[in-house]
């Protein structure tokens, strides 16, 4: 559980830093004449919600990763070979994250055409990532590592499936953003939504990179450390 505690602590520190940096303790609706919030005034409240969502999602992944690290190496543990396709999938997710970051910056610079193109690129590559993950699962099953074959394989499906489910949720939010900002990508509300989508994608990319390292078997030292602390 040491990894979960450390990860939760890092999330708390990061959330506190973000809230202070963006002065999210302000309550513009309590200011004189502040009856209706403008888009600029609503952004801190939305950002606080996003930080809370990321914190909850982070805790869920921290607990799953901690369970993986504590279980790995047991007598009944069989490490399944990671499908080579995961390397390609990782590249797709990196491109998707970069696309959304570029869209957020292009929108802030009032480059409408570039912002829409990069936003679409991020969405398409994210969809391709999920589709490629399904093919990776099929490769695992064909190699004899189905969901119920052993504990190691079960964790593979659990971690990648959980990550894919959160990415699907992000795609729903991105689809809503694309629909609602069509032709108005330069508006304040649109810029805020694109920026928050990019932040969510960056977070999922960081989580995936950690999961990818574990699935590739690069976390042996971390597993030994965690088992020594139990």
Q: Which domains, from first to last, does the chain contain?
A: 2-229 (1.20.120.80)
Provide the 3-class DSSP secondary structure of residue 113.
Answer: helix
Considering only residues 110 and 222, tell me which one the structure prediction assigns the higher pLDDT. 110
The pLDDT of 20-41, averaged and rounded, is: 45
Output the pLDDT for position 150.
86
Give the CA distances from residue 55 to residues 100, 207, 227, in Å, rounded to whole numbers and listed in that order.
21, 12, 26
The pLDDT of 30-58, averaged and rounded, is: 62
Helix axes 220-229, 39-71, angle to 10 degrees: 80
Considering only residues 157 and 23, tell me which one the structure prediction assigns the higher pLDDT. 157
Highest mean pLDDT: which range of 64-73, 132-141, 142-151: 132-141
Q: Is 18 left (phi over 0), alpha (psi -120 to 50) or beta?
A: alpha
Reported as a pLDDT band with limits 50, 70 and 90, residue 16 is very low
Phi, psi torsion values for 190, nearest 5 degrees: -65, -45
- Tell me how far apart the terminal alpha carbons of the chain are, to the nearest angstrom: 8
What's the whole-model pTM score? 0.77
Could you tell me if 66 and 223 are in contact, meaning their C-beta atoms sit under 8 angstroms apart? no
The pLDDT of 103-108, averaged and rounded, is: 88
Could you tell me if 123 and 174 are in contact, meaning their C-beta atoms sit under 8 angstroms apart? yes
Percentage of the chain beyond pLDDT 70 is: 72
Q: Which two tokens stand for residue 175?
A: 């689809």
Weakest mean pLDDT among 9-18, 108-117, 161-170, 215-224: 9-18
């Amino acid at each position: 559980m040491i990894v979960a505690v450390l990860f939760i602590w890092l999330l708390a520190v990061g959330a506190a830093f973000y809230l202070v940096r963006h002065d999210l303790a302000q309550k513009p609706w309590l200011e004189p004449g502040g009856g209706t919030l403008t888009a600029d005034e609503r952004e801190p409240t939305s950002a606080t919600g996003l930080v809370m969502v990321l914190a909850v999602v982070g805790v869920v992944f921290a607990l799953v990763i901690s369970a993986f690290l504590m279980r790995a190496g047991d007598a009944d543990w069989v490490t399944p070979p990671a499908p080579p396709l995961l390397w390609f999938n990782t590249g797709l997710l990196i491109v998707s994250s970069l696309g959304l970051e570029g869209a957020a910056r292009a929108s802030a610079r009032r480059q409408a055409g570039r912002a829409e193109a990069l936003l679409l690129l991020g969405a398409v590559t994210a969809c391709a990532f999920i589709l490629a993950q399904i093919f990776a699962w099929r490769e695992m099953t064909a190699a004899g590592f189905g969901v119920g074959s052993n504990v190691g394989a079960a964790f593979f499906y659990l971690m990648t499936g959980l990550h894919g489910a959160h990415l699907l949720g992000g795609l729903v939010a991105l689809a809503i953003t694309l629909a609602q900002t069509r032709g108005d990508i330069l508006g304040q509300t649109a810029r805020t939504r694109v920026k928050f989508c990019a932040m969510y994608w960056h977070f999922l990319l960081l989580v995936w990179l950690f999961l990818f390292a574990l699935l590739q078997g690069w976390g042996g030292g971390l597993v030994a450390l965690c088992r020594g602390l139990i």
